[in-house]
Amino acid sequence: MMFFLTVFPYCDTFCVGMNRKIVQLIVRKVIFPYKIQPQQQLLEHDPATRSAYALWARANLEEDPNFFRSVCFGDECTISSHGIMNRQNTRKRAPENPNWTIPIPLQHQCKINVWAGIVSDRLIGPYFIEGNLDRHKYITLLEEHLDGMLRNVSEVVRRNMWWMQDGAGAHTALIVRAELHRRFPERWIRLHGPVNWPPVV
């Protein structure tokens, strides 16, 4: 029965063909429900990129244990008409955590993006971007709104601040890279930047 439930995790007691109470007792005592976790797919070259980033991060932390307090970790969140998956209602039963994941679709037909960041102990933003994020909207954030959002961050942190972003299309445009280089010379972390931001899971 345990093999059956592991192979067919969505099956109910009727599928197993055993007494419902016995099945429930076994399920509660031996196998446990685990939530599904959406996860970015990793490509072949990603482990090397992640290792290089980890070595870079370790070297900076050895030099300055508070290094990452000067990194502005920022990202956008797309609020879309697709809705969200309710992981609370999705379970897989197994004797051990199966680290169950499902691929999630890319976000299309989005309605609004929200950018926010954290540097030191400060929240930066939020900054609302109507429609799909593109290089022009992202450069507007950097050129026209970032200074105002950083007004509560100390001058010392701003002067030494690193900028972290992922590899979204809007982040990789030449105009964006030029602005980041002007603002944060050699102090930005992103896909194909001075420090290559690795894919995360």
- Residue 151 located in a structural domain: yes
How many structural domains does the chain have? 1
Residue 113 lies in a domain: yes
> Does residue 32 lie within any of the structural domains?
no
What is the three-state SS of the chain? CHHHHHHCCCCCHHHHCCCHHHHHHHHHHHCEEEECCCCCCCCCCHHHHHHHHHHHHHHHHHHCCCHHHHEEEEEEEEEECCCCCCHHHCEEEECCCCCCCCCCCCCCCEEEEEEEEEECCEEEEEEEEECCCCHHHHHHHHHHHHHHHCCCCCHHHHHHCEEECCCCHHHCCHHHHHHHHHHCCCCEECCCCCECCCCCC
In a domain, 109, yes or no: yes
Domain range holding 170? 42-83+105-189
pLDDT at 2: 56
In a domain, 56, yes or no: yes
CATH of the domain at 68: 3.30.420.10
pLDDT of 9? 56
Does residue 156 belong to any structural domain of this protein?
Answer: yes
Residue 75 lies in a domain: yes
For the chain, 201 residues long, give each residue's pLDDT as a single digit of tens: 555 555 555 555 555 566 777 777 776 776 777 777 777 778 888 888 889 999 999 999 999 999 999 999 998 887 766 656 556 666 677 788 878 777 666 655 557 789 999 999 999 999 998 878 899 999 999 999 999 999 999 999 999 999 998 878 788 888 999 999 999 999 999 877 788 877 665
In a domain, 195, yes or no: no
